[in-house]
Amino acid sequence: MPNTPDPASAPALVPTWLRAATLAVAAAAVLVVAWGCATAWGAVVHGHPAYAVLLALTLAGAAVAGVRALRGRPARPGWRRALRVALLVLAAAWVVLVAWLRPFGAVEPALSAMRSDDAVTVTEGATRYVLTPVDGGDGTAVLFQPGARVDARAYAAVLRPLAEAGHTVVVAKQPLGIAFLATGALDDARAAVAADRWVVGGHSLGGTVAAMAADAADDDAEAPAAGLLLFASYPAGDLSGTLTAAVASVSGSEDGLATPAKIDASRADLPADAAFTVVEGAVHAYFGDYGPQPGDGTPTITHDDARAQISGAAVAFVDGLAR
C-alpha cells in the first residue's frame, strides 16, 4: 500500500486572514495605478518620470505579493509573522501615498498654450518645459515652480504672456509634484538657458520654494535673483531683512488655501517694498488650469478674467525688472 503523507506533519500555511489581507492590498494597489493612469494619463506621461516609475514599482510589487499570497507560504513563527504584518501595513500606506500623489492634470486652455507658434517656441523635456520668445527675448528669464501635485503644463496659459512679452519662461517638472524635491531647479535652469537675469516664481508650495531659492541666490554675488513672483503663496520664514530681490505677490480674494489672511500676514516676512496685487473673486485653482481643488474657495469671477489679471500683473512686474 503506497505511503500517504500524514496531514499532521504537513507545514502550516500562512493564516487565511493574512493571505486575504495581502490580496486585498495588492488589489487596491492595482486599482490605484489603474485609476491614476485613467484619470491623469497626460500628467503621468508629460510629468517628471518619478511618478511613472512609482506607478510601475507599485504594480510590480502588487503582482509579486498577489502571486505569493495565492500560492500560499509556510507559516513562520514569532517575529517573522510580525514582520510580515508590519510590511503589509507599510504596503497599505504606500498605496495611500501613491493615490494621494496623483497629479492634478492640465486642462484647456493650458494644453493649447503648450503649442509653438510664430511668437513662442515651446520645448519639453523630462524635468522642465521652456517657453522661448521666437525673437530670442530680452535676456530676462523666469523659473516657475508649480503648486503641489499640479501638472507643470497647467501653467502654460497663464505664463505664456510673459514669453510673448519677450521673457523666456522655464517651468520645472518636480519629482512627484513636490517642489521641495526640486530645490535645484534654478541652478538647472541657469545651466540650460542663457539669460542675463533671472526671476524665480511659483504657485502655492512652489512659491514657498521659489522664495527659498531667491534668498539663497543672494549668496551668489555674481547671479542673485532679480525678482520673486509669488502666485497665491508666501515664504516659509522671515525674509524681510535678507532678501534683495524685488517681490510681487499676486493672490485671490476668494482663495480657500492661501487665504487673504495668510497673504496679509506674509507682508511682515517680505521686504517693505514688496508689491501686493489681489485679484478680486479669484480662487487658488485659478492660478493654473487644472480643475477645481479640494479646500478651495468659491470664485465670483470667471477663470478667463482671473487668468488675464494674473498674467497682466506678472508681465508688468517682469517688464519692470527688464528695463
Q: What is the pLDDT of residues 132-159, one digit of tens each?
A: 999 999 999 999 999 999 999 999 999 9
Ramachandran area for residue 176 (φ above 0: left; ψ -120 to 50: alpha; else beta): left
Say which range, 80-84, 196-200, 228-232, 246-250, has the weakest mean pLDDT.
80-84
pLDDT in tens, 262-298: 999 999 999 999 999 999 999 999 999 999 999 999 9
Question: How many secondary structure helices (H) and strands (E) does the chain include?
Answer: 9, 8
* Strand-pair partners of 248: 229, 275
**Residue ranges covered by each domain of the chain:** 7-100, 110-322
| Stronger pLDDT, 4 or 235, i.e. the higher one | 235
Average pLDDT, the chain: 93
CA contacts within 13 A on the Cβ side of 50: 16
Provide the CATH topology of domain 110-322: Rossmann fold (3.40.50)
Is the pTM value of this prediction over 0.85? yes
Grid cell in block for residue 35: 485609476
Q: If 0-12 CB within 10 Å is exposed, 13-18 middle and 19+ buried, where does residue 196 land? A: exposed
Residue 199 has pLDDT above 50, yes or no: yes
